[in-house]
Chain A
Amino acid sequence: MSAEVFFTQILNGLVSGAMYALIGAGVALIYGTQRILNFAQGEFFMLAAFGLFLLSTQVGLPLVVSAVCAVILVAAFAALVYRAAIQPLMNREGWEFSTIAVTLGIAVLLQNVAFLLWGEKYQTVPYFIDGSIAIAGIAMPLQRVLVFATCVGVIVAMTLFLKYSRLGWAIRATAQQPDAAAVVGVPVQRIRMLTFAIGCGLAAIAAVVLAPIYAVNPWIGVPHLLKGFVVVIMGGIGSFPGAILAGFVLGIVEAIGITLTSSEWRDVIAFAAVILVIWLRPAGLLGKS
């Protein structure tokens, strides 16, 4: 592998890694705060991509306005789903399994609704930015740079939000000791609903910047959900910084791996990487055993 190819793949890996990190951060946020494995995370991703497609190409709103609206609508819908279908299960015995079953059911339902509404045809969304930029002599499409910048920007903003904002403190307290959080005045149920909405909103943000690169269809979310889980397991289950680190590691390992093999091996490489990590560090990269 020449130095140029290697460097190109590192750049590609960073872009994919930022996307994986953002999707994984959403999964980790929800699991870390309330131990819910959200199997519908990929379908909230899909809904946001279709939302962008509808608002921009059908309704005719400007692309950026469409993207912002799609993210807000998906987060609000996620909050509704949490309130109606997940929260009632949380005080019942066996809620861990019940929530898996319910989120799987929601995933299948949303896929089929999308299929009924838009069929299996691949829908395209225009690029936010056309053209490319040269990075160390390597041409990189500006849309991919936007994906990287948006994902990294949102991750940094989210980290600062959790660390310094009043709401971020409430989310962290609820994750660590829900009863103690309630005693000091945190409305735990509302915070859990909000966290679920934010976690799905992170997937929605990734979806709107990726939609112009990947064609939009009802099953677009499934591989992203799997990669989200890979990242969360690799980073340390429930660890927000772990998911971010694992996202970048996975992106770079995949990019270099497919250069040495072929792109068909992408998922094999990803799952081999996660097996290797949990073999060497069972708690994940930043997880606590």
Chain B
Amino acid sequence: MLEVTDLDVHYGSTRILWNVSLRVAPGEIAAIMGPNGSGKSTILKAIVGLVKASGGTVTLDGATLLGVPTHQMLARRVGLIMERRCLFPAMTVMENVRMGAFHPAAAAGFDENLAWVRQLFPVIDQKAGVAAGQLSGGQQQMVAIARGLMGAPRYLMMDEPFLGLSPKIVDQIAEVMAAVKARGIAVVFNEQNAHLSFSLADRGYLLESGRIVIEGSGMGMLENEKIRQVYLGVEAARAGDGHVG
């Protein structure tokens, strides 16, 4: 179980997160939903050590994760797929995928994981020798997820995995998330679209201005009155414009 308790983060003198608590168990999907700038990405970055927490705890099966360097997170089987993919643009698609298993902890399952991600994402073989920076946004997202899975994480953080993607690619990524969950891997992702977030999630969290204001099961979040009025209502209006995310 990955547990975040009363997490605080400051950027300089500005407080970004206020007593954020959440948890996810193996084989579960947890969604952090909130408007732009609410601090969603900061939670995931704090969990993997890319930003420093100023208070609270992050534990994995009871052992603290705070203070573990980012490059040692895969030794604890915690991985992150970063916002806007952050692929290595001048490296080829296959080099990017193989880089996902750079940490020695990922070496044992390398062949099996590579076969799995190639099956999940045929684009890996189709574009193996192409520089990752030349791919479309959807293709880049697939390579980024493949790179994340190559690290053999048991807990996978996904920072805005649907950002800027077409509805067709969104559906594909959602199917991949289900496949990842079926392997017993816990997923924590963040997203601005309430319906998309909570229909995929076992647990849901609504983050506003750095605070968790509502939490519950995915279904429970979809039925919550405030979420229905404020977030799903807004989205229903946007849906008419064909807006995604």
Contact between chains at B73 and A172 (CB < 8 Å): no
Contact between chains at A173 and B71 (CB < 8 Å): no
Contact between chains at A182 and B71 (CB < 8 Å): yes
- Is A188 close to B, CB under 8 A? yes
Contact between chains at B88 and A180 (CB < 8 Å): yes
Contact between chains at A172 and B103 (CB < 8 Å): no
Of residues 65 through 87 on chain B, the ones whose CB sits less than 8 Å from some CB of chain A are 69-74, 79-80, 82, 86-87
- Is B63 close to A, CB under 8 A? no
Contact between chains at B102 and A186 (CB < 8 Å): yes
Nearest neighbor of A190 in chain B, beta-carbon distance: B71
Nearest neighbor of A172 in chain B, beta-carbon distance: B91
Contact between chains at B82 and A188 (CB < 8 Å): no
Contact between chains at A183 and B88 (CB < 8 Å): no
Of residues 168 through 216 on chain A, the ones whose CB sits less than 8 Å from some CB of chain B are 169-170, 172-173, 176-177, 179-188
- Is B204 close to A, CB under 8 A? no
Bound CA–CA A173/B48 (angstroms): 18
Question: With A169-B95, A169-B102, A180-B82 as given contacts, are A187 and B88 in contact (CB-CB < 8 Å)?
Answer: no
- Is B90 close to A, CB under 8 A? yes
A94 to chain B: closest CB distance in Å?
15
Contact between chains at A184 and B147 (CB < 8 Å): yes
Which interface residue of A166, A184, A188 has the most chain B CB atoms within 10 A?
A184
Contact between chains at B86 and A185 (CB < 8 Å): no
A182 to chain B: closest CB distance in Å?
4
- Is B106 close to A, CB under 8 A? yes
Contact between chains at B88 and A173 (CB < 8 Å): yes
Bound CA–CA A179/B85 (angstroms): 11
Contact between chains at B82 and A173 (CB < 8 Å): no
Q: How large is the interface on B (under 10, 10 to 19, 20 to 34, 35 or more residues)?
A: 20 to 34
List of A residues within 8 angstroms of B34 by Cβ: none
Question: With A169-B95, A173-B91, A176-B91 as given contacts, are A184 and B151 in contact (CB-CB < 8 Å)?
Answer: yes
List of B residues within 8 angstroms of A183 by Cβ: 48, 50, 70-71, 73, 79-80, 82
Contact between chains at B88 and A186 (CB < 8 Å): no
Bound CA–CA A167/B5 (angstroms): 37
Contact between chains at B90 and A172 (CB < 8 Å): yes
List of A residues within 8 angstroms of B100 by Cβ: 184
Bound CA–CA A200/B151 (angstroms): 33
A272 to chain B: closest CB distance in Å?
31
List of B residues within 8 angstroms of A181 by Cβ: 71, 88, 99
Contact between chains at B82 and A187 (CB < 8 Å): no
A185 to chain B: closest CB distance in Å?
3
Of residues 171 through 217 on chain B, the ones whose CB sits less than 8 Å from some CB of chain A are none
B236 to chain A: closest CB distance in Å?
36
CB within 8 A of A176: which of B82, B89, B104? B89
Q: Mark A19-30, 1 if CB is under 8 A from B, else 0.
A: 000000000000
Nearest neighbor of A174 in chain B, beta-carbon distance: B88
Write the residues of chain B forming the contact surface with A, with a CB cutoff of 8 angstroms. Answer: 48, 50, 69-74, 79-80, 82, 86-91, 95, 98-106, 147, 151
Report 28 cross-chain contacts, Cβ distance below 8 Å, ordered by A residue: A169-B95, A169-B99, A172-B88, A172-B90, A173-B88, A176-B91, A177-B87, A179-B50, A179-B82, A180-B82, A180-B87, A181-B71, A181-B88, A181-B99, A182-B50, A182-B69, A182-B70, A183-B71, A183-B79, A183-B80, A183-B82, A184-B74, A184-B100, A184-B101, A184-B147, A184-B151, A185-B104, A186-B71
Write the residues of chain A forming the contact surface with B, with a CB cutoff of 8 angstroms. Answer: 166, 169-170, 172-173, 176-177, 179-188
